[in-house]
């Protein structure tokens, strides 16, 4: 028997940016079979019918920046030195379910501890565990100048999510090795927080030649390249080298913006991490240094980002979920809120950034939209997110999540489990004793 579900009387936000309309949506097997605006339509008598009066159906959210293997570390020290491969993979399975239950039907994990990303994606695709669709990178490529973890990055070899490449030969070798292991993307930390740096973003840690070599090597094997770039030079050189997506992109200058527009490269600002740290600094006992840096980063970049959006750069929502500041399952919607509040997007525009536009992070055009023939990855929410995107962050209002046409069990995954032995940093004290 064909699995058939009718979602009746729904307000439909299709992800394209068009205004919501009311109608009935028929799911057959894993696809959106048909959409009807008239009440009389021939429907399968065997179909299960769900009445969605007062509710909205929209494409499932796609989070284009989620670190599923990290398990919410409070610091880079914890992330780089306190994680074990097998346990990280097992825990990531539970965390993936939390992500799905929050309405995220796909996410992009650009870099991973060990090979957890590829393994988790394959386990989900094989039906071993239930989780969102995944697109994955392997270890982020870094030079010995480091990435966002400063001196914790070794001069060579691997640590945490990073693989340090020390020569052109190593760049080629590492990229080909990752592609052989099955990555969907290559991730490069183009910029890094080098000690004693200036305050406008991070320093570029790669030469343009090295970035071009990396892109050519990946592209020849059909794999796209995504860059962590904070700073004008790193954005510009990544774009010149042929990068397919830019994460952060802050402190981009006019020249960089021109190239981004011309090449139509998507941008994933990922302000959620900063926004959460600013909003909840006291509650989390966060460092005031970080709070100041992040407030400045958002403020400084609103003008160039607004200009980029108006010029047609595809904006994509990514939450940087996976840190203590951005726990799994809670904050995937928040980038939409930041886009509306800080960048002045309409709620519908922000929804497009988290659905249709974000499908490009997955390199798929069969998801991210409600249209006949698309895959039925859907989110049903009580209320109207085209008026207020924050309702997408209220779990009580998430009524159904359909993944591949299947109505997912929303019985909550375990919220936080007991920390396994040695999983977190144990400090002698949080402050130094003052006499
Ligand atoms: Zn990240």
Q: How far is the CA of 382 from the centre of ligand 1 (A)?
A: 31
Band of the pLDDT at 427, cuts 50, 70, 90? Answer: confident
Q: How far is the CA of 339 from the centre of ligand 1 (A)?
A: 18
CA distance 331 to 345: 19
Phi then psi for residue 135, to 5 deg, are: -115, 140
Residue 152, classified by CB atoms within 10 Å of its CB into exposed (0-12), middle (13-18) or buried (19+), is middle
Q: How far is the CA of 8 from the centre of ligand 1 (A)?
A: 39
Mean pLDDT of 390-412: 97
What is the model's pLDDT at position 224? 98
Band of the pLDDT at 316, cuts 50, 70, 90? Answer: very high
Residue 390, classified by CB atoms within 10 Å of its CB into exposed (0-12), middle (13-18) or buried (19+), is middle
pLDDT at 403 over 90: yes
pLDDT digits (tens, 9 = 90+) for 66-91: 999 999 999 999 999 999 999 999 99
**Among the ranges given (126-130, 163-167, 378-382, 424-428), the one the predictor scored with the smallest mean pLDDT:** 424-428
Q: How far is the CA of 67 from the centre of ligand 1 (A)?
A: 7
Band of the pLDDT at 424, cuts 50, 70, 90? Answer: very high
What is the model's pLDDT at position 49? 94
- The answer to whether the CB of 113 falls within 8 A of the CB of 77 is no
- The answer to whether the CB of 73 falls within 8 A of the CB of 82 is yes
- The proportion of the chain whose per-residue pLDDT surpasses 90, expressed as a percent, equals 85
Q: How far is the CA of 251 from the centre of ligand 1 (A)?
A: 17
Q: How far is the CA of 58 from the centre of ligand 1 (A)?
A: 26
pLDDT digits (tens, 9 = 90+) for 193-218: 776 666 677 899 999 999 999 999 99
Q: How far is the CA of 108 from the centre of ligand 1 (A)?
A: 10
Q: How far is the CA of 148 from the centre of ligand 1 (A)?
A: 10
What is the model's pLDDT at position 196? 64
What are the Cα distances from residue 406, in Å, to 28, 78, 264?
10, 37, 34
**Among the ranges given (36-45, 240-249, 299-308), the one the predictor scored with the smallest mean pLDDT:** 36-45
For residue 267, what are the β-bridge partners?
Answer: 246, 315
Band of the pLDDT at 191, cuts 50, 70, 90? Answer: very high
Band of the pLDDT at 434, cuts 50, 70, 90? Answer: very high
List all residues 6 or more positions away from 389 whose beta carbon is below 8 Å from its beta carbon. 333, 336, 337, 340, 347, 350, 351
Q: How far is the CA of 44 from the centre of ligand 1 (A)?
A: 45
Q: How far is the CA of 352 from the centre of ligand 1 (A)?
A: 21
Mean pLDDT of 331-351: 98
- The proportion of the chain whose per-residue pLDDT surpasses 70, expressed as a percent, equals 98
Give residue limits of the domains in the chain.
4-60+372-407, 61-332
Mean pLDDT of 9-27: 97
pLDDT at 393 over 90: yes
What is the model's pLDDT at position 199? 63
User: Nearest Cα to 103, choosing from 51, 55, 138, 49?
Assistant: 55
pLDDT at 1 over 70: no
What are the Cα distances from residue 314, in Å, to 111, 319, 376?
22, 16, 23
Q: How far is the CA of 273 from the centre of ligand 1 (A)?
A: 9
Mean pLDDT of 268-297: 90
Q: How far is the CA of 344 from the centre of ligand 1 (A)?
A: 24
What is the model's pLDDT at position 304? 98
**Among the ranges given (62-66, 86-90, 111-115, 410-414), the one the predictor scored with the smallest mean pLDDT:** 410-414
Q: How far is the CA of 322 from the centre of ligand 1 (A)?
A: 9
Q: How far is the CA of 228 from the centre of ligand 1 (A)?
A: 8
**Among the ranges given (152-156, 200-204, 350-354, 367-371), the one the predictor scored with the smallest mean pLDDT:** 200-204
Higher pLDDT, 293 or 108: 108
Superfamily of domain 61-332 in the CATH hierarchy = Metal-dependent hydrolases (3.20.20.140)
Q: How far is the CA of 88 from the centre of ligand 1 (A)?
A: 17
pLDDT digits (tens, 9 = 90+) for 128-155: 999 999 999 999 999 998 888 888 999 9
Q: How far is the CA of 143 from the centre of ligand 1 (A)?
A: 17
Q: Which CATH architecture has domain 4-60+372-407?
A: Roll (2.30)
- The answer to whether the CB of 80 falls within 8 A of the CB of 425 is no
- What's the pTM? 0.96
Q: How far is the CA of 64 from the centre of ligand 1 (A)?
A: 10
**Among the ranges given (21-25, 91-95, 410-414, 427-431), the one the predictor scored with the smallest mean pLDDT:** 427-431
- Cβ-count burial 227-253 (b if 16+ within 10 Å, e if not): bbbbbbbbbbbbbbbbbbbbbbbbbbe
What is the model's pLDDT at position 299? 94
Q: How far is the CA of 39 from the centre of ligand 1 (A)?
A: 46
Q: How far is the CA of 183 from the centre of ligand 1 (A)?
A: 17
Q: How far is the CA of 65 from the centre of ligand 1 (A)?
A: 6
């Amino acid at each position: 028997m064909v699995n058939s579900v009718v979602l009746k009387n729904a307000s439909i936000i299709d992800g394209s940016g068009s205004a919501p309309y009311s109608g009935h949506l028929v799911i057959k097997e894993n696809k959106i079979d048909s959409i009807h605006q008239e009440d009389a339509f021939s429907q399968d008598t065997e179909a299960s019918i769900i009445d969605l009066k007062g509710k909205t159906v929209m494409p499932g959210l796609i989070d284009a920046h989620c670190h599923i293997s990290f398990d919410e570390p409070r610091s880079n020290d914890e992330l780089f030195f306190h994680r074990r491969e097998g346990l990280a993979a097992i825990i990531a399975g539970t965390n993936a379910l939390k992500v799905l239950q929050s309405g995220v039907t796909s996410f992009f994990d650009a870099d991973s501890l060990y090979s957890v990303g590829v393994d988790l994606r394959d386990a989900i695709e094989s039906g071993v565990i239930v989780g969102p669709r995944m697109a994955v990178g392997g270890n982020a490529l870094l030079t010995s100048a480091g990435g966002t973890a400063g001196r914790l990055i070794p001069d060579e070899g691997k640590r945490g999510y990073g693989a340090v490449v020390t020569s052109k030969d190593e760049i080629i070798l590492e990229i080909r090795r990752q592609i052989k292991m099955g990555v969907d993307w290559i991730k490069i930390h183009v910029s890094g927080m080098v000690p004693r740096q200036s305050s406008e973003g991070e320093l570029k840690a790669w030469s343009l030649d090295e970035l071009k070599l990396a892109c050519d090597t990946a592209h020849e094997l059909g794999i796209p390249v995504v860059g962590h770039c904070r700073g004008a030079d790193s954005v510009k050189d990544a774009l010149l080298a042929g990068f397919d997506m830019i994460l952060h992109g802050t402190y981009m200058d006019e020249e960089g913006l021109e190239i981004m527009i011309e090449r139509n490269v998507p941008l994933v600002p990922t302000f959620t991490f900063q926004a959460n740290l600013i909003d909840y600094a006291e509650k989390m006992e966060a460092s005031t240094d970080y709070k100041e840096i992040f407030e400045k980063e958002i403020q400084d970049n609103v003008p160039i980002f607004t200009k980029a959006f108006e010029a047609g750069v595809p904006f994509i929502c990514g939450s940087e979920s996976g840190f203590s500041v951005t726990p799994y399952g809670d904050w995937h919607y928040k980038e939409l809120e930041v886009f509306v509040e800080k960048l002045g997007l309409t709620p519908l525009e922000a929804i497009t950034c988290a659905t249709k536009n974000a499908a490009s992070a997955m390199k798929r055009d069969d998801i991210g939209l409600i249209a006949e023939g698309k895959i039925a990855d859907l989110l049903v929410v009580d209320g109207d997110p085209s008026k207020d995107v924050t309702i997408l962050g209220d779990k009580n209002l998430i009524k159904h999540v359909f993944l591949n046409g299947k109505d997912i069990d929303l019985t909550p995954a375990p919220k936080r489990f007991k920390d396994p032995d040695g999983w977190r940093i144990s400090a002698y004290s949080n402050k130094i004793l003052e006499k």
